[in-house]
Amino acid sequence: MIRFGRDVRRRLKDRVMAVLALACVALALIPLGSIVYTVVVRGASVVNPEFFTQIQPIPCSPGANLTCTQGGIGNAIVGTFLLLGLSSAIAIPLGLLAGIYLAEYGKGPLVFAVRFFADVMTGLPSIVMGLFIFATFQLAFPGFVFSAIAGALALAVIIIPFVARTSEEALRLVPGSIREAALALGVPKYRVTVRVVLSSAREGIVTGALLAMARVGGETAPLLLTAGGNSFYSVRLDQPIAAMSLVIYNFATTPYANWNALAWGAALLLVVIMLGLSIAARFLLRHRFHEQRIRG
Amino acid sequence: MTRKLAAEKVSAWYGPKKAIEDISLDFEEHATTAIIGPSGCGKSTLIRCLNRLHETVPKARVEGKVLLDDKDVYADDPVAVRRRVGMVFQKANPFPTMSVYDNVAAALRLNGVRDRGKLDKIVKRSLEQAALWDEVKDYLGKPGVSLSGGQQQRLCIARALAAEPEVLLMDEPCSALDPIATAKIEDLIFDLKKDYTVVIVTHNMQQAARVADTTAFMYLGHLIEVGGTRELFERPRETLTESYITGRFG
């Protein structure tokens, strides 16, 4: 009888905790659901070919006796992709090399210092990174501050420590037995690292890189101080450049209806792109094995 | 019989902890030498000194000489040593991102061989030597890790053989396998000694009795006794050896 009573109590506790956990999940998902819902509802109406190709329209609000043009954020889309591409091209190789150093080669206090500062850097407010690049450019090249290259560098500085730490973790997850197996075959250490360990960790590394890109893709504060924004199409590295996050920041705070609408559209597109990057991180990297055969 | 490999006064440490002390042991060419002893006695450490893998562990250290064809491997490049002295580990460790074929070809590919015809030939030969070819010949493109445990271990043996070593070190290769897979690998070891010098570490005394020509008994980091396998099991000279092989160990 005692045993029976205890069993019932345990089952009851189990149910209560399960329901509680589920409720917490639901609670945590409410903001996410609300954001996605609002962004889709308010942003979807402007997503059409014009939105992707045009630049910003003349600001206007309905009510006056003029017809507003919708315009688009083509220049900002190009700008965001250019900034992302450029910053990734700078930061991912550097971050990966740092991660390889931390996981495979580093010894002693230097490793501790590098890892510590990488952690501190990932925690710094991104505007400080922007300020750092802003100040550096101000001192080094006065009059050349607002430019695509400055924006890309600011994003790169944010990405580097993130990629360094995620790739270090990914490399650490590769079992030591795999390294030993390769070393025991008489393969030099650098080649073991590049051809065996790195390829075993590639999913984690690529996931980390994509997540880093998703993280900086929506950055606004550092770009305010570096990329500067641009109302027109530009792909010149030494000129200010537009970005979707800047469009949202600038247009959302104006009283003009057509600019507000574009800000919602930009928010929707940005969410979709970042979601796409995260999903790509998950699905792109299944191991691919192909047919192999020896005749004879 | 000639001596292929020899440990001379080898001691090894993990940080401050001494794992093996002053071990001298000869390994005959084209013969199988078994190293037996209770857990933690330093058997694995000893064979990891033979291909210089011990020193890859952080803070690990080796003293003494290991002679391969009478030349000290510690005076040579460790990478060159490991090409001549292959190793099979306790737990099968195929490369997780590679197919069956790529696993076997790894040693050659990673050392720069690209000729597909040559690779095909060596992969097939190595898999045949490891008694795995018939089971995997239609699945060479499948991931190496999708094979069963026993097959994975034979895959690792094939991978080691593909590097064309002169000595093959086996660190408890059957400890994770069932009796059928174990029997296959023991048959294999028996065949391998025709071409290679085999050193096998094992927990299992019956296994040592079945496959080895010479057996060495280690205890607490010391080499207690070495002799012909039959002799060691039937007429051990040391009382420690006798109490271990008769199972009266305290």
Q: Say if residue A218 is exposed, middle or buried (CB neighbours under 10 Å; 0-12, 13-18, 19+).
A: middle
What b/e string do you get for A239-266 counting C-beta neighbours within 10 Å, with b at 16 or more?
A: bbbbbbbbbbbbbeeeeeebbbbbbbbb
Assess A187–B contact: CB distance below 8 Å, yes or no. yes
Q: Say if residue A176 is exposed, middle or buried (CB neighbours under 10 Å; 0-12, 13-18, 19+).
A: exposed
Assess A194–B contact: CB distance below 8 Å, yes or no. no
CB contact under 8 A, A292 and B99: yes
**CA–CA distance from A223 to each of A132, A156, A240 (Å)?**
12, 12, 10
pLDDT level of residue B48 (50, 70, 90 thresholds):
very high
Please report, in tens digits, the pLDDT of each residue of chain A (296 residues total): 556 678 889 999 999 999 999 999 999 999 989 999 999 999 998 899 989 998 988 888 777 666 788 888 999 999 999 999 999 999 999 999 999 999 999 888 899 999 999 999 998 999 999 999 999 999 998 877 799 999 999 999 999 999 999 999 999 999 999 999 999 999 999 999 999 999 999 888 998 999 899 889 889 999 999 998 888 898 898 899 999 999 999 999 999 988 999 999 999 999 999 888 888 877 765 555 556 666 55
Q: What is the dihedral of CA B187, B191, B196, B199, to 10 degrees?
A: 20
For residue B73, the SS3 value is: helix
Structure tokens at B56: 């890859």
Q: Compute the average pLDDT of residues B87-95.
A: 93
Task: Return the pLDDT at A229.
Answer: 87
Task: Return the pLDDT at A24.
Answer: 96
Return the higher-pLDDT residue of B115 and B176: B115
Residue of chain B minimizing CA distance to A181: B93
For chain A positions 129-148, those within 8 Å of chain B (CB to CB) are none
Total beta-carbon pairs less than 8 A apart between chain A and chain B: 94
Report yes or no: A168 and A115 within 8 Å, Cβ to Cβ.
yes
Q: Say if residue B75 is exposed, middle or buried (CB neighbours under 10 Å; 0-12, 13-18, 19+).
A: exposed
For residue B124, the SS3 value is: helix
CA distance A156 to chain B (A): 30
Facing residue for B140 by CB, picked from A179, A202, A292: A292
| CA pair distance A180, B77, nearest whole angstrom | 17
Strand arrangement, sheet containing B3-14 = B17-28, B3-14, B60-68, B71-72
Q: What is the dihedral of CA A148, A151, A152, A154, to 10 degrees?
A: 160
Which of chain A's residues have a Cβ under 8 Å away from the Cβ of B138?
293
Task: Return the pLDDT at A291.
Answer: 60
Degrees (nearest 5) of the Cα angle B107, A168, B78? 35
- What does chain A look like in DSSP terms, one character per residue? -HHHHHHHHHHHHHHHHHHHHHHHHHHHHHHHHHHHHHHHHHHGGG-SHHHHH--------BTBSSPPP----HHHHHHHHHHHHHHHHHHHHHHHHHHHIIIII--HHHHHHHHHHHHHHHHS-HHHHHHHHHHHHHHHSTT--SSHHHHHHHHHHHHHHHHHHHHHHHHHTS-HHHHHHHHHTT--HHHIIIIIIHHHTHHHHHHHHHHHHHHHHT--HHHHHHTB--SS----TTS-B--HHHHHHHHHTSS-HHHHHHHHHHHHHHHHHHHHHHHHHHHTT-----------
Assess B87–A contact: CB distance below 8 Å, yes or no. yes
**CA–CA distance from B120 to each of A86, A179, A296, B34, B162 (Å)?**
42, 25, 10, 33, 11
For residue B50, the SS3 value is: helix
The continuous run of DSSP H or E covering B80 comes out as helix B78-84
Assess B156–A contact: CB distance below 8 Å, yes or no. yes
The continuous run of DSSP H or E covering B98 comes out as none
CA distance A174 to chain B (A): 9
For residue B138, the SS3 value is: coil
Nearest alpha carbon to residue B169 among B187, B157, B185: B157
Which of chain A's residues have a Cβ under 8 Å away from the Cβ of B140?
292-294
pLDDT at B250 over 50: no
| CA pair distance B244, B39, nearest whole angstrom | 12
Residue of chain A minimizing CA distance to B78: A186
Which of chain A's residues have a Cβ under 8 Å away from the Cβ of B137?
294
Interface pTM, i.e. ipTM: 0.90
Disruptive mutation site among A185, A191, A192 for chain B (greatest number of B CBs within 10 Å): A185
Assess A206–B contact: CB distance below 8 Å, yes or no. no
Nearest alpha carbon to residue A240 among A53, A75, A73, A51: A75
Question: What is the average pLDDT value for chain B, to the nearest integer?
Answer: 91
CB contact under 8 A, B101 and A183: no
| CA pair distance B197, B27, nearest whole angstrom | 8
Report yes or no: B185 and B92 within 8 Å, Cβ to Cβ.
no
Global pTM reads 0.83
| CA pair distance B20, B34, nearest whole angstrom | 17
